Structure 1
Amino acid sequence: MKIFLFVLAATILEATGDAVLRVALHHPSLPIRIALFVFGGALLTAYGTSLNLAPVEFAAVTGMYIATLFVVFQVTNYLFFRATPTLPVLVGGTLIVTGGLIVSLWR
Structure 2
Amino acid sequence: MDSWTKLFIAAILIMTVVLAVITYLKAKRHYDRMQQHGLRASGVVVRNKISWGRTTTVRPIVRFVTQDGRTIEGLSTSGVAFAVPRYPEGAKVALLYDPENPHDFMLVSADRRYL
TM-score, L = length of structure 1: 0.38
Name which structure has the greater RCO, CA cutoff 8 Å, separation 6+: 1
Which structure has greater helix proportion?
A: 1
Which structure has greater strand proportion?
A: 2
TM-score, L = length of structure 2: 0.36
